[in-house]
Amino acid sequence: MGFNIQINVVLVIWFVVCVGSIDADQFCVNFYSKSCPSVEALVLGVAKQKFVEAPVSAPATIRLFFHDCFVDGCDGSVLISSTQKHLAERDAADNKNLAADAFDTVNKAKAAVEAKCPGGPNYPVKKGRKDGKLSAASRVTGNLPQANYTVDQLLNLFASKGLNRSDLVALSGAHSIGFSHCDGFLDRLYNYHKTNKPDPSMDPKLLKALRMSCPPMGGNTDILSPFDVNTPFKFDSMYYNNLQLNLGLLGTDQALMGDPRTKTLVQFYDKYGNNFFQDFSSAMDKMGSIAVKTGNQGEIRKDCTRFNA
């Protein structure tokens, strides 16, 4: 179940953003049934191999998907490379730590599909969205949650994307796998809410361990800490158990346990892991439908990193 969630549900699903099709405009599960019926198998093969080489590629691609969808919709615009005259989304400040392994997975999957089909939690994924014609770093600010957001800020942001409270808590469960750089939680270790003290809600042992890895200044920017200290490479509901033990890594993680509007869902997903998988899949589907481009709103790129014109 965990491996399918990480690879099949994430990489296969989102990669089709930049594959395109010669079929009529539509957005559905069976979009490639005629033009490229093996698309899922092709992408899955690449994704599995990449996962073996670099396990971080799975959570990294979930994050890449999130960062794409929340900025002008799911249109592959985060894949576009910057030029000397234009700063694209992927080079915005909020995207500076997007893992190269995620981009590499998408590019390799794109090559595999183009070779086979030129021109054109395990859940049924709608396909057929077109690639966006805009990718600007200036569009990122305000469209992605910050590590110190309050639950109010998170709920408002998610609502602006058509996502509700359950979607917020379920999608936060993506932090069951993956890692964060120190700058994502440094303020919780040393200067929480500008008090010059650590976040009092953080488990003391976790605080001590994180301080050893992340000094207040001059630390190694390559150091990563797992979101889930217990099962960092397994997609499960342990994330929610950790929050109840004050083991959340980011401020936005732990905040879910501190607010009554989200606390009950944290406890529910911890107790009923299957419901978490179901709601996560549903929320991924909803997120993948944000501002989908169809018709002349988008294009079908041959190269995920460049516009056609």
Summarize pLDDT for 173-217 with one digit per residue, the tens: 999 988 999 999 999 999 998 999 999 999 999 999 999 989 988
Q: For this structure, is 67 an active site residue?
A: yes
Would you say the CATH fold of 151-285 matches that of 2-143+290-297?
A: no
In terms of pTM, does the model score above 0.85? no
Catalytic residue among 67, 175, 181, 193: 67
- Domain ranges in the chain are 2-143+290-297, 151-285
Q: Which CATH superfamily is domain 151-285 in?
A: Peroxidase, domain 2 (1.10.420.10)
**Amino acid at residue number 6:** Q
Residues 59 and 51: their CA atoms lie apart, in Å, by: 10
**Amino acid at residue number 144:** L
What are 182's two structure tokens? 């120190």
Residue located via tokens 């799911």: 74
3-state secondary structure of 241: helix
**Confidence at 133, pLDDT banded by 50, 70, 90:** very high
291: left (phi over 0), alpha (psi -120 to 50) or beta: left
Sequence-separated (6 or more) residues with CB below 8 Å from residue 251: 147, 148, 149, 185, 187, 188, 199
**Amino acid at residue number 81:** S
Give the pLDDT of residue 119.
66
Query: 2-143+290-297 has which CATH code?
Result: 1.10.520.10
